[in-house]
Structure 1
Amino acid sequence: MNVLGYAQRLGKSLMLPIATLPVAALLLRIGQPDLADIPWMAAAGGAIFSHLSIIFALGIAVGMSKDEHGAAAIAGAVGWYIIEAVATTVDPSIKMGVFSGIIAGIIAGHSYNQFNGVKLPQFLAFFGGKRLVPIMTGLIALITGAILGFVWPPIQEGLNAFGNAVVGSGAVGQFSYGFLNRLLIPVGLHHVLNTIFWFTIGDCVQVTYTVAGSVMNTCVNPEMITSLAVGGSAPDVLNGGMIAGSEITQIADKVTNGDLHRFFAGDPNAGIFMNGFFPVMMFGLPGAALAMVLTANKGRKAETAGILGSLALTSFLTGVTEPIEFLFVFLAPALYAAHAIMTGLSLVVANALGTLHGFGFSAGLFDMVLNWGLATKPFVLVLQGFVWFFLYFVVFFFAIKTFNLKTPGREDLAPATAGSASSAATSTGTGSDYEQARQYMKSLGGYRNIKSIDACITRLRLTLENGDVVNEAQLKALGAKGVVRLGSGNVQVILGPQAEIIAGEMRKIPADDSLADVTLP
């Protein structure tokens, strides 16, 4: 498998554990004293954040296995426990965070693919097949943990140095992350980048304290822990001096890593790699959508408005941007490059203005409102959003007009489809989800051409026998926003939020279905 194809599988696998974050953030946030004040609800959300590493091990193991079997998940847990125990016994200073889960998940996934069908001699037959998977995973994890015990400390120092360099570089690091985050979206590798920034860079230790009779939390630099004690008073420097003299009731025994995790743990310095996405997703892309509607060809404005209006609303409310981004990334790649640049600039400006905000799912209205109480200067972030709406609108409008870019509503359509509501930009297939899945499968070359079917939030991730037989025109006529090829056999079909549904229906299609009765646009 080529490197991009393998990275595609890993990126897809990361989505399963990351999908647990919205519910974790929701429970943790609603349970806080400034909202519902339900301690057990906050504890439920906190439990997920506290065990992200093993959740990553479970999710990646399932995602990397060829048929997403539960045996791979069990093997992932076994591998994680062994790696953590062995590595920290060799060197107690090791703190791998989610990386131990990622490593364990990869080992377990590959072990499942390699050993799930192995037959052992009769006297060992009970331990063959899928029962062999956690055994082999454990043995491999044992060796891996011992090796990591010696090699991880310098890696850990390197990661810390990288994180400190990015944070210390200020605007340069912020811009680079925002720019690369958008630039990697077409190939689906932004999840790998996000894992580094959201779950590994920066650390703190959670401290619980009482103030005015209420139980509160904050997250402080690990170096401060030596000066704190349960039952003692919070020093003037804790949380900017706002809680000086309050009684400390609990100090966590685990370090919290990553911008996202630290934000929800109460770190007043977290959010620098999330805040700048709110102006882009809530305001910038809707501004771009308006520009594309107004520049659409005469007679197609209403049709284009219907498409882009719903996608802009999705971006504004939820922060799911891929459906709208894939409408112009291939039609006008220069505009997409401008979008990536403006995203990087948004992070720089948001941090320069002193704002901090975070999300459990994405930078949409739902997360902005829910986490408003944890944010720093969120109203300023909204004001920046209005500026970004205008910026995106102006850049897109004049670029489209000046360079005659073929954005939605301006594409060169065949005479039979020009102006038709069933064109590539508007069609979403016909009939039930199952029938649409059969249409997609036929456009992909049929059952025999598909080796594996996966999906993330907005895209089908496919491994094919022969990628050359894929009919991109038919896929787009069925409603695909774009098709990404990662080597000869790895293809991504951008569908939008229905991707998981279509993938599930495609898996139900029997091998003997010839698809002869399927009608394509």
Structure 2
Amino acid sequence: MNILGYAQKLGKALMLPIATLPIAALLLRLGQGDLLDIPFMAQAGGAIFGNLPLLFGLGIAIGLSKDGNGAAGLAGAVAYFVLTATATTINADVNMSFFGGIFAGIIAGHSYNAFHATRLPEWLAFFAGKRLVPIMAGLFALVAGAVSGVVWPGVQSGLDALAHAVSTSGAIGQFVYGTLNRALIPVGLHHVLNSYFWFGMGTCQEIIVAGQGAFANITQLCVDPSLAKTLVVGQEHTFTFANSVTPEITTVVKEVTDTVKSGDLHRFFGGDKGAGVFMNGFFPVMMFGLPGAALAMYLAAPAEKRSQVGGALFSVAFCSFLTGITEPLEFMFVFLAPALYAMHAVFTGLSLVVANMFGTLHGFGFSAGLIDFVLNWGLATKPLVLLAIGLGFGALYFFTFSFAIRAFNLKSPGREDDEEAAAPAGDAPKGDLARQYLKALGGHDNLTSIDACITRLRLTLKDRSVADEAVLKKLGAKGVVKLGENNLQVILGPLAEIVAGEMKAIGAGEDLSDVKLP
């Protein structure tokens, strides 16, 4: 498998553990003192965040396995425990964080694919097949852990240097990350980039404080590990946080825990008052910018087609505003007008720069929509300023999209050529739609793997030339992305997971000759 194809598969596998974040963030925030003040609820959410590396190991193992079997997840847990225990025994300073989970998941996923059908002599038959997978994963993880114990400190130093360079580069680092975040979406590799920034870059160590005076609601902080080593329990200390609504907090240290939190997202929810610099700028884009773009595309469509495209545009725009799910809207113009999408990517980078320039901080457990904006208001810095920035970006998107579409005669929903207009995906029952997609892709005999994430089918084909791209679009696909030699992504929107499941359920020998294609 080529590098792009494997990265695509890894990106899809990352979606499973990342899907645990909304419930973790919801429980943690609702349980905190400024909301419902229910300690056990906050602890429950914190437990999920605290075990994210293990969840990455479990989820990636299942995602990389051929059939998503639970045995791969069990092997992922075994590999994670063996890998981390071995590495820390060799070098107590090793902290692989979520990277340990990723490596364990990769080891376990490939162990499952290699050994889940292995036969053994009769006297060892109990350990054959899927029961062999955790054993082999543990052995491979033992070797990987021994190597990690020796080499990881050097790798970690390099990652720390990278994190320091990005964080101190200020606007440049923020702009590059924001632009790449959107630029990688069409090929489905943004999850790989996000995972490092949100779960791996930058660390802080959790401490318990007295919560006194003006800071009575603050009983937990997350500070630089080098500072944590110098703190004395029982003594008062003044903590400073750059770019925070609480730049100085003076309180008594009650406990210095061993809990280390990594990444912008994890640190934001963990009490680091300076975290959120790589999340804040997404709120103006997702809540205001993209809806502004949708309005511009609606008004740019011919009057006779506005009723046809308006429902689709405004429904996905509202989805972006409310939840932060942007792909259904983005894929309505990324292939029709790549120039508009390039502009959108640049605006996203610019939004991160502006959001940090005005000293705002905010974060999300799922995505940068209204739900997360309101839920995490109490942790944010200058959220009202962020709303004002959002209004500005809404206007920026509306006027620039309107101008570009008309001035350069760019295609957009309602302005595409008639033969390019996709048929609505709801024209056929979902079961029939799955059979139609399967036939358009060359049938089961031409498919070696069928996967899906939130909005796209992720496929590996024996012969990609057999797939009929024009028919796929007529069936309702918003776009087709080719990666490497045999990998194909079909952008469907929210139906992707359903269609993928129904395609898998169709028998390999089922006759598709009676399936009619547009």
TM-score, L = length of structure 1 = 0.95
Partner amino acid, structure 1, of 2:443: G
Are 2:372 and 1:371 equivalent residues in the alignment?
A: no
- Which residue is 1:432 aligned to? 429
Q: Which residue of 2 aligns with 1:30?
A: 30
The whole-number CA distance in structure 2 between the counterparts of 1:356 and 1:378 is: 7
User: How much is the aligned-residue C-alpha RMSD, in angstroms?
Assistant: 1.6
Deviations 1:262-318 (A, max 9, x none): 000111100000000001111111111111111112411221211111111111111
Shift of 1:237: 4.2
Deviates most, 121-130 or 164-173: 121-130
CA contact (8 A) 2:334 2:340 kept: yes
Which residue is equivalent to 2:224? 221
**C-alpha contact 2:238 2:248 (8 A) present in aligned 1:** no
In the aligned structure 1, how far is the partner of 2:425 from the partner of 2:494?
Answer: 12
Q: Deviations over 1:62-115 (max 9, x none)?
A: 011111111111111111111101111111111111001100100111111111
Aligned match of 1:300: 305
Question: What aligned pairs does 1:371-410 form with structure 2 within 5 A after superposition?
Answer: 371-410=376-415
Contact 1:71–1:134, Cα closer than 8 Å, also in 2: yes
Please tell me whether residue 457 in structure 1 is matched to residue 454 in structure 2: yes
Runs (5+) with no aligned partner, structure 2:
none
Against the structure 1 CA distance between its residues 307 and 90, is the aligned structure 2 distance closer, same or farther, given a 3 Å change threshold?
same
CA distance, structure 2, for counterparts of residue 43 and residue 351 of structure 1: 30
In the alignment, residue 273 of structure 1 is paired with which amino acid? F
Contact 1:208 1:215 in 2 (8 A): no
String of CA shifts for 1:240-277, please: whole Å, max 9, x gaps: 57542x44333321211100000001111000000000
Return the alpha-carbon distance in structure 1 between the equivalents of residues 273 and 143 of structure 2.
40
Pairwise mapping of residues 140-179 of structure 1 onto structure 2 (< 5 A)? 140-179=140-179
Tell me the CA shift for residue 211 of structure 1.
Answer: 2.6
Residue number in structure 2 paired with 1:211: 212
Unaligned ranges ≥5, structure 1: 418-422
Q: Which moved more, 1:116-125 or 1:38-47?
A: 116-125
After superposition, where does 1:179-328 map in structure 2 within 5 Å? 179-209=179-209, 210-211=211-212, 216-235=219-238, 237=240, 243-244=249-250, 246-328=251-333
Is the partner of 2:351 in helix, strand or coil?
helix
Alpha-carbon distance between aligned partners in 2 of 1:214 and 1:367, rounded to the nearest angstrom: 21
- Conserved? CA contact 1:203–1:258, under 8 Å: yes
- The one-letter code matched in structure 1 to 2:488 is V
Say if 1:196 and 1:241 are closer, same or farther in 2 by CA, change over 3 A: closer
2:469 corresponds to which of 466, 469, 472? 472
Give 3-state SS (helix, strand or coil) of 2:229's partner. Answer: helix
For residues 140 and 10 of structure 1, what CA distance do their matches in structure 2 show?
Answer: 19
Query: What is the rounded CA distance, in whole Å, between the counterparts of 2:515 and 2:27 in structure 1?
Result: 45
1:135 pairs with 2:141: no
Is the contact between residue 62 and residue 68 of structure 2 (CA under 8 Å) also seen in structure 1? yes
1:443 to 437, 440, 443: 440
Residues 417-428 of structure 1 correspond to what in structure 2 (within 5 A)?
423-424=421-422, 427-428=424-425
Separation of aligned partners in 1, 2:299 and 2:238:
57
Partners of 1:478 and 1:313 in 2: how far apart?
24
211-220 vs 467-476, which deviates more? 211-220
Counterpart residue number, 1:505 = 502
Letter of the structure 1 residue corresponding to residue 301 of structure 2: A
- Counterpart residue identity of residue 145, structure 1: G
Alpha-carbon displacement from aligned partner over 1:42-72 (angstroms, at most 9, x marks no partner)? 0010001001101000000001111111111
AA aligned to 1:328 is F
The letter for the 2-side match of 1:409 is: G
> Once the 2 structures are TM-superposed, how far is the Cα of residue 487 of structure 1 from its aligned partner?
2.2
Q: Is the 8 A contact 1:65 1:113 kept in 2?
A: yes
Secondary structure in 1 matching 2:181: helix
